[in-house]
Amino acid sequence: MADYGVLNNKGKEISTDVSLHPGEVLSMEIDARDLKKSVFAAQLGMTPSHFSELLHCKRNVSAATALKLEKLLGISAEYWMRVQVYYDLFIERNKESQAA
């Protein structure tokens, strides 16, 4: 299986030591669109406390939530799932590097 990465102009893979949780991205999107969080939570079918936990990186974006976000914001479910997976991998890689 091929491994894909982003390369700089010298052919070295570009990596970052920063990753955003999808809740952080969602929070910025909601702020940018000037949406009321309690109303948006209701549209997602979430309680305000559950939604707050998502925005504060205490809950993950599920496939079902990603589909709802796609419908409400017009941002693909695949995007939300990619952000979640990249965040999860980032956290696990940091755990591994700290243990070594």
User: What pLDDT, in 10s, does the model give residues 27-73?
Assistant: 999 999 999 999 999 999 999 999 999 999 999 999 999 999 999 99
Residue 15 forms part of a structural domain:
no
pTM above 0.85, yes or no: no
Residue 65 resides in a domain = yes
Provide the domain limits for residue 80.
22-99
The residues near 77 (Cβ < 8 Å, ≥ 6 apart) are 63, 66, 67, 69, 70
In a domain, 14, yes or no: no
As for how many domains the chain has, the answer is 1
Q: Tell me, what CATH number does 90's domain have?
A: 1.10.260.40
Domain membership flag for residue 49: yes
The answer as to whether 61 is a domain residue is: yes
Identify whether 12 is part of a domain: no
Left (φ > 0), alpha (ψ -120 to 50) or beta: where does 50 sit? Answer: alpha
Tokens linked to 13: 């893979």
Assigned token pair, 60: 């993950």
pLDDT at 1 (0 to 100)? 39
- For residue 8, being part of any structural domain is answered with no
With tokens 């243990």, the residue in question is 99
